[in-house]
C-alpha cells in the first residue's frame, strides 16, 4: 500500500483500523511500521475524530429543531398562533429602531421602492447626459453648429 492509498482509505474508513477490511488493515499496519508520514496522517485523523466526538454540532442543531417543532405542535394543539421562527420580524426591527411597526411596514413596502426608483432614475440621467449624441438632442442649437 502506498501513502496515497493509505490516506484515501483513512479518509473513507476512519482512523479506527479495526473498522477497515482485513486486507486493507494489514497493508496499512505494514505501512505504519515503515512510514512516519503514514503514522502522522493516522495521528491527525484520530485527533480530528476526537475533536468531532467532543464538539458534535449535530446535537446542538437537532436540539434546537426539536424545541421549535415541539413548540409549534403545542401551539397547534392549543389553538394559539405559531411562534415566529424568523430572526428579523418587522416588530423586532421596529422596536430596535424605536419606531412603530406600522411606519416601518409602510417604509419597506412603499417608500423604499419609490426611493430606489428615483435613485435609479438619477443614475440613468447622469449616465445619458455624459454621452455626446444625447447632448445634441437636449440642445437643438448644437445640431447646427459647425464646430465639433
Write the pLDDT tens digit of every residue in 79-112: 776 655 555 677 777 888 888 888 888 887 888 8
pTM score of the predicted model: 0.40
Residue 113 included in any domain: yes
Residue range 140-144: mean pLDDT, rounded: 56
Residue 146 included in any domain: no
Domain enclosing residue 14, as ranges: 3-54
Q: Quick one: cell of 57? A: 454540532
Q: Cell 423586532: give the residue.
A: 92
Residue 47 included in any domain: yes
| CB contact burial 26-63 (16+ within 10 A = b; e otherwise) | ebbeebbeebeebeebbeebeeeeeeeeeeeeeeeeee
Amino acid at each position: 500500500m502506498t501513502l496515497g492509498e493509505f490516506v484515501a482509505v483513512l479518509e473513507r474508513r476512519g482512523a479506527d483500523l479495526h473498522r477497515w477490511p482485513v486486507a486493507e488493515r494489514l497493508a496499512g499496519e505494514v505501512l505504519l511500521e515503515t512510514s512516519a508520514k503514514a503514522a502522522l496522517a493516522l495521528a491527525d485523523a484520530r485527533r480530528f475524530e476526537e475533536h468531532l466526538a467532543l464538539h458534535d454540532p449535530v446535537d446542538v442543531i437537532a436540539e434546537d429543531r426539536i424545541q421549535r417543532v415541539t413548540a409549534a405542535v403545542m401551539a397547534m394543539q392549543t389553538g394559539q398562533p405559531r411562534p415566529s421562527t424568523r430572526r428579523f420580524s418587522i416588530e423586532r426591527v421596529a422596536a430596535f429602531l424605536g419606531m412603530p411597526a406600522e411606519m416601518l411596514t409602510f417604509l419597506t413596502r412603499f417608500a423604499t421602492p419609490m426611493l430606489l426608483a428615483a435613485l435609479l432614475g438619477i443614475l440613468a440621467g447622469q449616465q445619458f447626459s455624459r454621452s455626446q449624441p444625447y447632448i445634441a438632442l437636449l440642445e437643438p442649437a448644437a445640431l447646427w453648429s459647425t464646430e465639433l
